[in-house]
Every structure is written in structure tokens, then in C-alpha cells.
Amino acid sequence: MSEKKNMSAANIPHIGPGGKPGRGPGGPMGARLNAEKPKNTRRTLGRLIRYIGKSGVILAALLLIMIAVTGADLVGPFFQQKAIDAISLSDGKLSVDMQAMAGYLALMAVVFAVSAALSYFQGILAAKLSQSTVYAMRNDLFRKISRLPISYTDSHRHGDIMSRMTNDVENVSNAVSQSIATLFSAVLTLAGAFCMMMYYSPVMTAVAVVTIPLTILVSSGLSKFMRKYFVRQQKLLGQLNSAVEESVTGYKTVVAYGKEDEAVEKFGAVAEDLRKCSISARIWGSVMGPIMNFLGNFQYVLLAATGGFLILSGRGRITVGSIQAMLQYSKKFSHPINMIANQYSMILTALAGAERIFEIMDAADEIDGGKTDISLDGVRGDIEFENLQFGYVPGEPVLKGLNLSVGAGKKIAIVGATGSGKTTIVNLLTRFYELDGGRITIDGVNITDIPKEKLRKMIAIVLQDTVLFSDTIGANIRYGRENATDEEVRAAADTAMAARFIDRLPGGYETMLSESGTNLSEGQRQLLSISRAVLADPKILILDEATSSVDTRTELKIQQAMGNLMRGRTSLIIAHRLSTIRDADMIVVVNGGRIVESGNHEELLALGGEYSKLYSSQFAGVAI
């Protein structure tokens, strides 16, 4: 695997561990997607509840309204029983207490009106609660992603990470807005209905609860079976997003190699797996409701038969109105269980999504540890690489005891075959990765003792693949130093030879760039990247194959701009085009994780070693 890939999402100056937006997985672990491992449901639910609890006022108001709604719902059958029992049969004569019936019916109307109004506000509060919860969760997740080590973003599919930020958080939002009210209302209704049933008839209550153990047994068995489908569904959705992202960002490559059908086939395979899994998840998720409804209806029949028997046998103080009330309360007693069952698929999906979110949150933060108070203004730029030992994969070292001394203000070129370890040196200098052995110092201070924020402010990187954002040209340049004035931005663009083409644009520095700056030429994007580095005013400059993808005429402009940028700065240049580094103070040749040659251009050519072979392969067509 090429070493360039190890750097693909990492080498962005002052962006942090998030990596380059829209890129596929980089690094030696890029092709691996960690298998989904369901976490402890109780622990996940507990963490989710803590997020919900952050909106304490909204939650308290919602619970109070739900208590009122549930109370109004429970008192309705009581008034209905009283209204029915206002009708009496004595000595074969039917009599109706119209005043009592009218009073109870009026009370029922008031109760139902109040319940409807409170239900409206309940819906508003539930929406606010869900959005407040996912707002906090999404912010914490994004903040966590910004603190992850580069190795994490290099070893996980970017589409899957984005799926957790979007799809999984949205599933949690849906569950919070709907299931919180459902679950709390279910508990209140169960308790209230049971008390009212006991008030009317303990015997009929005992009959009503006969089906409860069977309901619990069926629901727990089905939920255990269903869980695996919902967890796999979320994983496949992440893979689908990754496939789409890779195809869109790499569209030109797909088309150039005629791989459209293969990309469609790959997408179709993942989509087919997701289709089958989603069907299974939905089928088993929908089975729960009908089973619970059947058990509820069975309970209803048993209760009606029991009530009729009690009236005919003259046992207890059961009336027709009491039976009607008991039937209503039995429905209210069984309905919460059915509500929970019908919500179970949503709850499972939300918990599966929450597990995936918390998996990222539980990942280790990027290691810092730097405590040395160092002034950026006093940095000279002397760099020492001492016996560097490093490998991306344990047991597969990339650097094997590399030593290099770079004097302040010197221009050092690093060359070598692909995979020799050139870009890895930059990864370690910026602490995108941590050393396995050896040390790197700047002005004699170990970089592990320098806070990463200060370390990376000392360094600016200009990459082969420029990173531009969907914003104005001025804002993209100002990314190097956000508090820069307009004059400083223009001066940086002028130094980088970018001012000429910017001034010709209709919007000038306010010209909006499309995604990744695709409405500019590759050379223009590179000049903007150099402008950004000029504005950052770094003490140390890294140029990572900054001209390898442009034509010769554009290369000359960029070389002139980079010459202005490198003046007075310690510069490390990684280059494949050896014509761009002839004037370097020193050229080092890396091979097999070690420096095998060093010297200036003429000295290395005269040596007739690795550098001479590389140079000849480019300019004389000699095979290596």
C-alpha cells in the first residue's frame, strides 16, 4: 500500500483530527470496518437517559402534562359508569335520572376537552425535548470526532462515521419524541387502571391480569430475537453511505476506468443486504403488535364473561355501568403494553444507533501531554529526528532508526520510492501519529512536551491534494489565520502569486467556491492553499508533493510562490519531481525506513546511488 494513502486524511494544517472532508478511508487500516458489537442495553439506555435529563425543565413540564392527560383519561370511564348507572330498572320499569346523567356527561365533555388541549402541548414539549437531546448529543459527537486521533479516522470508513452523525442521531430523535411520552404514559396508565379496577372488582381484576405473564414472556422472547436485525440494519446503512460517498468523491476515477457497472454492482450488493435485513427487522418488529392485540382481546372476552357471571349470580356489587367501566379500564390496562410492543422496533433502532454513537464517544482522545510553555515568536526551527521507530501496523515497521538533522531556515528535500517512509516523517513531526521509539525535537524541545495546538501552529502544510471549503476565497485563505485583516489576506495572496487570478474573478475575494473548490483549476486551488500557508506565517513549512499534479507552466508559478513562502523558514519538501528540488540545501534519500544518502543535487548525482537512479528514471528513461 502506498505511503501516500497513510496521509490522505491526515495532512491538513490546523484542521485537527477530523481529516479531509469527503475522502475515503486512508492509512493501512483503511479497508477495515470494525464489526458492530452490541453493547450492554442497560448501560446504553442509562447514558441516553442522562442526555434526556439535560433538558430537565422541559422534561419536568412534559411529565406534569402527561400526568394530567393520563388522569383525565382514567377519570373518563368513571363518569361513563355513573352516567350509565343513572339508568335503572325497577319492577320492570325503566327510570332515568336525567339531571345526574346530564351532569356526568358534561363532566366527561370537559375532561375530554382538557385532555385534547393538554395533548397538544404534550406534543410540542416532546418535540422540544427530542431536539434538545439530539442537539446535545450531536454536538458532543462532533466535538469528540474533532479530538479523535488521525489513526481513528484513517482506520474507519468516513461514510460510516457520517452515518452515525446523521442517521443514528435521527433515530434517537424519533424515539425520544415518541417513545418517552409513550413509556411514561404507559406506566401511569397501568398503575391508574389497576387501582380503578381493584376499586370496582378484585375478582375481575384478577381475571384481567391473567394474560400479563404470557404477554411479558412473548414480548421478551421476540425482542431478544429482533435485536440482531436492527443492529445489523444500522451497520449496513453505514456501509451503504460509505459506498455512496466513495463513488461520488471518486467519480472521475470510476468513469475513467470504466468501472460504472462494478460500482453499481457493489452498491447493489450492499443495498440488497440492507433490503433483506430491513424486511426481516420490520416483519419481526410488526409481529409484536398483532400478538399483543390478540392477547388484549382475549383478556377482554374473559373479563366480559366474568362480569356477566357475577351479575347473574348476584355476587359482589357489580352493575352494568361497572362492567362497562371495567372493560374500559381493562383496555387501558392492556393498551400500554401494546403501545410499548408497537414502539419496540423504534426503541431497538434508537438503542442500536445510540450504541454506535457512544462507540465513537468512548474511543480514546488524541494524546497530547504537552506541558512546556513555549513562545511561538521565539521558535527558530531547528529540527532533530533521532532514531525514529514507527509502524502503522504492529510488527510492520515503516521507519527503522531514521536520523536527520535540519537546521533553522534550511530547505531539506526528502525523496525516495513510494512507501519508503517520506510522508510518515511528516506525520510524526506534526504528531498525527505517535512514535514507537526515538524522539523528535524542535529547538531542542521534545515535540511530545509541546502542546499540540502550539506545535501545529508552528507548522504549515501544502499538500498535493488541496483542501478548500464551500466558502469565499477570502475565507479559505483566512483559514490560515482567522483574525487576519483584508489587507493581510490580499498580501498573502500576492506573495503566493494568487492575487492576479483572484482579481480577475467577478466576485474577487468574495467569490464563492463550490465543494472542494472545483470551480477553480487545480493550479489555482494550489495557489490558494499556498496563500493560506503564507497567512499562517509558520516557522516550519512542509511541502508534500505540492506540484506533482499540475502542468509545467503552472508548476513554475507555484514554484515561484513556494519560493516566496519558504524564504526564511525551515522547509521540508517531499517531492517526486526531482527537478523541483535542485536548489535544496540538502537532499536526503529514504529507503527501507532509513536515510541511505544525503547531500546536494550535484553530490548525489556524482555518488551514483539511489538518487542518481531516481533522477535517471525521470530524465533519461532508465529503468530502476
Q: Per residue in 300-310, pLDDT tens?
A: 788 878 887 88
The C-alpha atoms of residue 62 and residue 52 are separated, in whole angstroms, by 12
DSSP 8-class letter at 399: E
Q: Is 181 helix (H, G, I), strand (E, B) or coil?
A: helix
Angular region, 229: left φ>0, alpha ψ -120 to 50, beta rest:
alpha
pLDDT at 531 over 80: yes
More confident residue, 375 or 439: 439
Q: Which residues contact 55 (CB under 8 A, 6 or more apart)?
A: 128, 129, 132, 133
Q: Is 274 helix (H, G, I), strand (E, B) or coil?
A: helix
**Angle, helix 522-536 to helix 486-495, in steps of 10 degrees:** 120
The C-alpha atoms of residue 363 and residue 383 are separated, in whole angstroms, by 32
- Could you read off the pLDDT of 464-479 as tens digits, one per residue? 778 888 889 999 999 8
Return the pLDDT at 21: 34
User: Which grid coordinates are listed for 595?
Assistant: 536515510
* Of the candidate ranges 12-16, 265-269, 463-467, the one whose mean pLDDT is the lowest: 12-16
Mean pLDDT of the chain: 80
pLDDT at 481 over 80: yes
pLDDT at 135 over 70: yes
Pairing of strands 570-574, 540-544: parallel
Return the pLDDT at 503: 92
DSSP for 279-346, please give it. HHHHHHHHHHHHHHHHHHHHHHHHHHHHHHHHHHHT-TT--HHHHHHHHHHHHHHHHHHHHHHHHHHH
- Could you read off the pLDDT of 216-259 as tens digits, one per residue? 777 777 777 777 787 788 788 878 887 887 787 777 777 777 77
Highest mean pLDDT, choosing among 156-170, 224-238, 477-491:
477-491
- Residues 328-352: what's their mean pLDDT? 75
- Could you read off the pLDDT of 80-103 as tens digits, one per residue? 777 877 777 666 677 777 888 888
Q: Is 269 helix (H, G, I), strand (E, B) or coil?
A: helix
Nearest by Cα to 468 from 412, 528, 510: 528
DSSP 8-class letter at 167: I
413 forms bridges with which residues in the sheet? 573, 587
Return the pLDDT at 385: 94
The C-alpha atoms of residue 165 and residue 357 are separated, in whole angstroms, by 7
- With a pLDDT cut of 70, the percent of the chain lying above it is 89
Return the pLDDT at 258: 79
| Residue 30 parent element (H or E) | none
More confident residue, 69 or 369: 69
- With a pLDDT cut of 90, the percent of the chain lying above it is 11
User: What pLDDT band is residue 196 in, cutting at 50, 70 and 90?
Assistant: confident
93 forms bridges with which residues in the sheet? 90
